[in-house]
Structure 1
Amino acid sequence: MKFEGTERYVATDDLRMAVNAAVALQRPLLIKGEPGTGKTMLAEEVAAGLGMPLIQWHIKSTTKAQQGLYEYDAVSRLRDSQLGDEKVHDIANYIKKGKLWEAFTAEEQVVLLIDEIDKADIEFPNDLLVELDRMEFFVYETGETVKAKHRPVIIITSNNEKELPDAFLRRCFFHFINFPDKETMREIIAVHYPDISKSLVAEAMEVFFDLREIPGLKKKPSTSELIDWLKLLMADEIPDEILKERDPSKAIPPLYGALMKNEQDVHLLERLAFMHRREMR
């Protein structure tokens, strides 16, 4: 059982090796990289490539580790007891299964995505150490132990918003997705738009990579933003010449809203264009 990539996802040799190493070691695969480099999509494609169902747990700043196991709704049980509802006698009616419970009790091996783990508080990863190690957890309200029928393939993503605990990192296989070089980027674009004009791709990529090299950008445009920008360029039938005849005194590319996502970076480009116009006088 090896991941070789899919038709929809361009996986480098290093990335394929990392996925297969994590599967062989039966350890969570921790994926880091710039936002927009396909970390979440990787889990979807690993599931497709290995022929497994995908269970996704998207982490928020308010998410607690316990929610991945289960939640006990004591308020509903109290209300039902006041109303004389018969189901109040079975506490299992008030247990809501979490994503880890779903993954552990699935009838076949699944891929479990724990997405953007760095959004949660610092204790969140440590609170899952025992469960991810032993592949089981105890439900105090019912007295049962939930054990994994099949060890899931666990993929954990992080945008590096905060450091993860060492004890958690020791239990993971780590891979950093480097930003694609131009050749890999062409392959990614071809997957999304197989019939796109090669000249449009060439000129758009020049603009895109030039933007990324501008010092002082608060947020560099990402792969997913390049894909969106190309879609707009094709939809609006922007001629290749507009991109080819780049004028440094007009630094902002057409439909820049797909690439630039904050006003500071737009103002930076405007200042660069203004300074170039002054130099040309």
Structure 2
Amino acid sequence: MSFEGTQKYIASKELQLAVNAAITLERPLLIKGEPGTGKTMLAEELATSLGTDLIQWHIKSTTKAQQGLYEYDAVSRLRDSQLGDDKVHDISNYIVKGKLWQAFSAEQRPVLLIDEIDKADIEFPNDLLQELDRMEFFVYETRETIKAAQRPIVVITSNNEKELPDAFLRRCFFHYITFPDVDEMRAIVDMHFPNIKKQLLNQALETFFSLREVPGLKKKPSTSELIDWLKLLVAEDIPPEALQSKDGKQTIPPLYGALLKNEQDIHLFEKLIFMARR
């Protein structure tokens, strides 16, 4: 198995090395980076490139590690017992398989995505240490041990909202996706808009990167937001000249709502533009 990116996903040499190293070491790949830098998409395209299934576990603030293993549906069993249903005598009918169980029992080695692990409680990563290490867990209700038929390729993403425990970090292969430079971003855009006018792209990239450099922004525009903005510029047939004022100075870009996502950043940018023009 070797990952080199796909037609839809440009992976840097460093990212390719990280993915392939994690597969070789059979360790979870922990991916960090700014929101919108393609962390989740990496797992999707990795599964595509390897021709295998992707099992996605999207983490929320209320998610518990046990849910990834299995859940016992006691309420359904109680209801069925009141109705006299015969299946109530087999407790396995009320065991709901979690994402890890699905990955462990897959016929073909899958890619398991644990997405945005930092959203969960601080104990969540520690609660998965043994299962990710041994690739097995015990089901107390049925008195059986579930072992992985083959070790899944585990990709874990984090937006750095909270620190992860050291014990968990030691078990992962870590990679931070750095934000693309102008040339890398141009290659990414070319995948989405192969026929975009060069002058429009040049001016849009200049505006985008200068906007990211504005000091004090609460949320810098990301790759996904640039793609959305370009899609709008192309759809509305916005000329390159509209992205810059006649005197060559920066101006408020058209359709800026695709780039700036909160009112504080919009007010800050407008204020800086106004001050620059005085």
**TM-score interval (norm. to shorter):** over 0.9
Instruction: Report the CA distance shift for 1:2/1:246 in structure 2 as closer, same or farther (over 3 A).
Output: farther
Task: String of CA shifts for 1:171-203, please: whole Å, max 9, x gaps.
Answer: 000000000000000010011111111111100
Matched to 2:245, the amino acid is: E
* Cα shift at 1:248: 7.9
Where 1:32 maps in the other structure, the secondary structure is strand
Query: Could you tell me how far apart the structure 1 residues matched to 2:162 and 2:247 are?
Result: 40
- Report which stretch shifted further, 189-198 or 149-158: 189-198
Paired residue for 1:164? Answer: 164
Cα deviation, residue 251, structure 1:
3.4
Counterparts of 2:220 and 2:202, CA distance in 1: 19
What does residue 225 of structure 1 align with? 225
1:273 deviates by 2.2
Corresponding position of 2:271: 271
Match of 2:42 in 1: 42
TM-score, structure 1 normalization: 0.97
For residues 246 and 181 of structure 1, the distance between their equivalents in structure 2, rounded to whole angstroms, comes to 27
**Conservation of the 8 A alpha-carbon contact between 1:219 and 1:265:** yes
Mapped to 2, the partners of 1:22 and 1:229 lie a distance apart of 34
Instruction: Please say if residues 248 and 273 of structure 1, whose CA atoms lie closer than 8 Å, have aligned partners that are also in contact.
Output: no
Please give the alpha-carbon distance, in whole angstroms, between the structure 1 residues aligned to 2:246 and 2:11: 32
Query: What are the ranges of 5 or more consecutive residues in structure 2 without an aligned counterpart?
Result: none
For 1:245 and 1:13, locate their aligned partners in 2 and report how far apart those are by CA, in whole Å: 38
- CA 1:107–1:246 in 2, change beyond 3 Å: closer, same or farther? farther
1:238 counterpart residue number: 238
Give the Å deviation of 1:249.
7.6
Contact kept in structure 1, 2:69 and 2:100, CA below 8 Å: yes
Q: Secondary structure at the match of 1:273?
A: helix
Counterpart of 2:154? 154
- Gaps in structure 1 of 5+ consecutive residues: none
Which residue is 1:77 aligned to?
Answer: 77
Q: Distance between the aligned counterparts of 1:246 and 1:171, measured in 2?
A: 55
Superposed, 1:1-281 pairs within 5 Å as 1-245=1-245, 251-277=251-277, 279=278
Counterparts of 2:212 and 2:273 in 1: how far apart (Å)?
A: 16
TM-score, reference length from structure 2: 0.98
Shift of 1:247: 5.9
Alpha-carbon distance between aligned partners in 2 of 1:74 and 1:159, rounded to the nearest angstrom: 35
Amino acid at match of 2:31: I
**What is the alpha-carbon distance in structure 2 between the residues aligned to residue 182 and residue 104 of structure 1?**
41
C-alpha distance 259-246 of structure 1, shift in aligned 2 (>3 A): farther
Q: Which residue type is aligned with residue 137 of structure 1? A: F
**Bigger shift: residues 10-19 or 72-81:** 72-81
Deviation of 1:246 after TM superposition, in Å, equals 6.3
Equivalent residues, number: 278
The answer to whether the Cα contact below 8 Å between 1:249 and 1:274 also exists between their aligned partners in 2 is no
Q: Matched residues in 2 for 1:138 and 1:108: separation? A: 22
Cα shift readout 1:15-50 (whole Å, capped 9, x = no counterpart): 000000000000000000000000000000111111
Give the superposition deviation at 1:68: 0.3
State the SS of the aligned residue for 1:35: coil
Letter aligned with residue 160 of structure 1: N
Distance in 1 separating the partners of 2:252 and 2:92: 59
Q: Distance in 2 between matches of 1:219 and 1:31?
A: 20
Structure 1 residues 238 and 131, CA, compared in 2 at 3 Å: closer, same or farther?
Answer: same
Cα distance in 2 for residues equivalent to 1:247 and 1:164 = 49
Give the deviation of 1:274 after TM superposition.
Answer: 2.3
1:245 offset after TM fit, Å? 3.5
Query: Aligned partners of 1:102, 1:247: CA distance in 2, in Å?
Result: 60
CA contact (8 A) 1:32 1:157 kept: yes
